């Protein structure tokens, strides 16, 4: 049960060294809720927290999307890694010796082999493109373009910038010489299949190429800027086994050291802005890759930073993107500020026009708070020279202020608004109170009010077992919860029921528990989840483990009586179905046999 070559002792030690609250807290902003911790789920979009962490049991579970498990499972989900990959990562972080791969003859999985091949192919491709930029006449226009944008030889070298020639098969032939399979290179995003399906062509042609690295510094994708007037002007690698746009940030592998030291990250929209800012001294800058900021990006940044400065283009599109990014960053637990770009400039233009020192001073150090930016952005949609415009603006501004958690921040903002528009600050305060009361009572979440317990999820999942009824499904889950908490209870259930749980998944979990305790393990929900080999069972087990109903001899007896009664009812129902089937086929002797058995079962039910 230890995923093959990884010793169970190593898995246990990894779980012991990685507290679930600390592990999840690197990605998710958690707040205390009794003995639980709660936050917004990093695996699906939501406004009301449905994600729980239980330090006592070392597990997490989301009532919204159903994901759950222990610390290893959480890292697997967040990083898109296999079980062995996540254990290896966590072992290295905890200083646990990683020796099992060396002593095992197990072959890497096909997925692992493909990823390793793609890593090697991307590294080779980056070197090829860089060489072509620096050493070929065909790359002269690309080199001139970079010079015109202020890219020195040092920057080109440091960022590994290259050039993909205009020919259709430069990379195709180069990869073939290295004996890489074209179909595999297409899956990795380096090649494209011809439209007629016969052969392959280079995905990137006549483009300045910017390599994209993962968090460990390995090249996983490319971004290319076209040198002619065609479309698309900017082209990124597609989603591949190595590259996920929603989880990848340009330059994070180099910037995270500076981000950790300063506890601050600067967000850009594109790689050119990020590179020019790096030249200006902003070494804690990262950029999204052809996609808007996502909750996954925000959660990733929260691992390293407490504050994010949004430094997007000064045009309408850039400011709208900044507006949308603020709630994502704040939901992840980051303070957000916004750098204001004058005259609709982008960061690259600002650095080129005014220099690096001015950029850092005015746009980074001078960034305004999130709510100040939101108020500035809000002004653009109202005509403040008219009374109606002022009223509408103040109404929306008060709503923004009301959503701020800090009473001090609300007070200062309301005073500024009152002074600017010559209205009573007490009036504005009362409006804030009304808004906060309304929004607190309103149901703006993704799941029904009151769903922070097991009741809603039970209703949600009970439909999977309509023939048993929600009450019985809940009873079996309660029994499994007790079994996870007490080995003696598990032994008693094994003696009385064995594998005869009526819900298949419950029977599977029980079988794992019997084996788990037979190996001498102590009750531990997080450790038991690591023992499972099935993603669906891990999710269900993490949900079941959250149950807090106390148990004793009476509860056990009640369950066994419920089980026997339900089993009897199911058997009677099955016999009736067989009776009706026999009657339809005209087999009267068989029908009579089933009728006698039903009478006996009904008598037994009355006596129970």
393 neighbors 379 (Cβ within 8 angstroms): yes
Please report which confidence band the pLDDT of residue 273 belongs to, taking 50, 70 and 90 as the band edges.
Answer: very high
The residue to which tokens 């042609």 are assigned: 205
pLDDT at 519: 80
Token pair recorded at residue 198 = 């016969």
Quickly name the fold that domain 8-94 has: DNA Primase; Chain A (3.90.580)
* Cα gap 541→202, rounded to integer Å: 47
Q: In the sheet where 68-69 sits, what is the strand order?
A: 31-33, 36-39, 51-54, 59-62, 68-69
Question: What architecture does CATH give domain 112-236?
Answer: Alpha-Beta Complex (3.90)
Cα separations in angstroms, 264 against 72, 255, 361, 517, 543: 27, 10, 15, 47, 36
- pLDDT at position 454 is 36
* Residue range 403-409: mean pLDDT, rounded: 84
CA distance 124 to 573: 66
pTM of the model: 0.62
DSSP-assigned letters across all residues of 16-84: HHS-HHHHHHTTS--EEETTEEEE--SSS--SS--EEEETTTTEEEETTT--EE-HHHHHHHHHT--HH
CATH class of the domain comprising 470-551: mainly alpha
Q: How many residues belong to the chain?
A: 608
Listing DSSP states for 274-331 in one string gives: HHHHHHTT-TTEEE--SS---HHHHHHHHTT-SEEEE---SSHHHHHHHHHHHHHHHH
pLDDT (0 to 100) of residue 106: 54
Secondary structure E strands in 117-164: 162-164
- Here the tokens at position 486 are 């007490």
Chain centre distance of CA 97:
28
Per residue in 121-143, pLDDT (tens digit) is 999 999 999 999 999 999 999 99
Q: Write out the H or E segment, with its range, that includes residue 219.
A: strand 219-226
Q: Which two tokens stand for residue 287?
A: 């950029």
- Residue 285 · residue 251 · CB < 8 Å: yes
Q: Could you report the per-residue pLDDT of 156-190, keeping only the tens digit for each? A: 999 999 999 999 999 999 999 999 999 999 999 99
Confidence category of residue 607, pLDDT binned at 50, 70, 90: low
* Helices vs strands, H then E, count in the chain: 28, 16
Which residue would you say has higher pLDDT here, 277 or 524?
Answer: 277
**CA gap 381, 388 in Å, rounded:** 12
DSSP for 92-107, written as a single string: HHTT----HHHH--PP
pLDDT top residue among 199 and 27: 199
Q: Rounded mean pLDDT of the chain?
A: 84
CATH of domain 263-270+288-368: 3.40.1360.10
**Burial letters 18-34, b for 16+ CB under 10 A, else e:** bebeebbbebbbbeeee
The DSSP code for 90 is: H
Higher pLDDT, 289 or 54: 54
Query: What pLDDT, in 10s, does the model give residues 589-600?
Result: 877 777 777 777
CA distance 333 to 274: 23
Whether 130 contacts 161, CB under 8 Å? yes
Q: Which of 105-109, 278-282, 410-414, 491-495 has the lowest mean pLDDT?
A: 105-109
pLDDT of amino acid 339: 96
């Amino acid at each position: 049960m230890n995923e093959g070559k990884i010793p169970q002792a190593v898995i246990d030690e990894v779980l012991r060294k990685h507290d679930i609250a600390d592990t999840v807290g690197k990605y998710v902003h958690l707040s205390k809720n009794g003995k639980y911790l709660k936050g917004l789920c990093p695996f699906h979009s939501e406004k009301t927290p449905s994600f729980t962490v239980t330090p006592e049991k070392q597990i997490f579970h989301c009532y919204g999307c159903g994901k759950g498990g222990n610390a290893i499972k959480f890292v697997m989900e967040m990083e898109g890694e296999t079980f062995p990959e996540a254990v290896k990562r966590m072992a290295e972080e905890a200083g646990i010796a990683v020796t099992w791969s060396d002593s095992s003859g197990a072959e890497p999985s096909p997925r692992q082999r493909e990823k390793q091949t793609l890593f090697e192919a991307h590294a080779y491709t980056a070197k090829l493109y860089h060489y072509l930029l620096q050493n070929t006449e065909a790359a002269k226009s690309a080199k001139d373009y970079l010079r015109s944008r202020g890219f020195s030889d040092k920057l080109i070298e440091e960022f590994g910038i290259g050039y993909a020639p205009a020919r259709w098969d430069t990379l195709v032939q180069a990869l073939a010489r290295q004996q890489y399979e074209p179909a595999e290179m297409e899956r990795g995003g380096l090649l494209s299949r011809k439209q007629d399906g016969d052969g392959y062509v280079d995905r990137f042609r006549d483009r300045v190429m910017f390599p994209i690295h993962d968090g460990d510094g390995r090249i996983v994708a490319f971004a290319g800027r076209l040198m002619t007037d065609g479309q698309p002007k900017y082209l990124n690698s597609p989603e591949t086994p190595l590259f996920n746009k929603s989880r990848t940030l340009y330059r994070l592998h180099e910037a995270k050291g500076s981000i950790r030291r300063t506890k601050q990250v600067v967000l850009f929209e594109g790689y050119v802005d990020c590179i020019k800012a790096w030249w200006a001294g902003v070494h804690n800058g990262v950029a999204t890759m052809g996609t808007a900021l996502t909750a996954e990006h925000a959660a990733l940044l929260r691992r390293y930073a407490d504050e994010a400065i949004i430094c997007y283009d000064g045009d309408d599109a850039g400011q709208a993107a900044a507006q949308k990014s603020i709630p994502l960053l704040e939901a992840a637990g980051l303070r957000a500020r916004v750098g204001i770009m004058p005259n609709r400039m982008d960061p690259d233009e600002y650095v080129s026009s005014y220099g690096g020192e001015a950029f850092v001073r005015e746009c980074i150090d001078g960034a305004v708070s999130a709510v100040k930016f939101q108020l500035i952005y809000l002004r653009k949609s109202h005509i403040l020279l008219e009374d109606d415009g002022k009223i509408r603006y103040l109404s929306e501004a008060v709503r923004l202020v009301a959503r701020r958690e800090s009473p001090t921040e609300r007070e200062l903002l309301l005073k500024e608004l009152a002074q600017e528009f010559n209205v009573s600050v007490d009036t504005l305060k009362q409006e804030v109170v009304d808004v906060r009361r309304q929004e607190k009572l309103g149901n703006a979440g993704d799941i029904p009010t009151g769903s922070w317990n097991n009741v809603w999820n039970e209703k949600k999942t009970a439909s999977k077992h309509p023939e048993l009824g929600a009450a019985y499904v809940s009873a079996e889950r309660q029994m499994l919860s007790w079994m996870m908490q007490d080995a003696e209870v598990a032994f008693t259930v094994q003696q009385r029921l064995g594998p005869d749980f009526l819900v298949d998944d419950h029977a599977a979990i029980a079988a794992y528990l019997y084996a788990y305790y037979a190996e001498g393990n102590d009750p531990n929900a997080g450790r038991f989840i690591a023992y499972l080999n099935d993603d669906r069972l891990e999710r269900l087990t993490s949900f079941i483990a959250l149950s807090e109903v106390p148990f004793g001899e009476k509860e056990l007896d009640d369950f066994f009586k419920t089980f026997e009664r339900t089993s009897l009812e199911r058997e009677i129902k099955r016999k009736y179905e067989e009776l009706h089937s026999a009657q339809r086929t005209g087999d009267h002797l068989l029908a009579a046999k089933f009728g006698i058995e039903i009478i006996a079962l009904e008598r037994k039910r009355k006596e129970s």
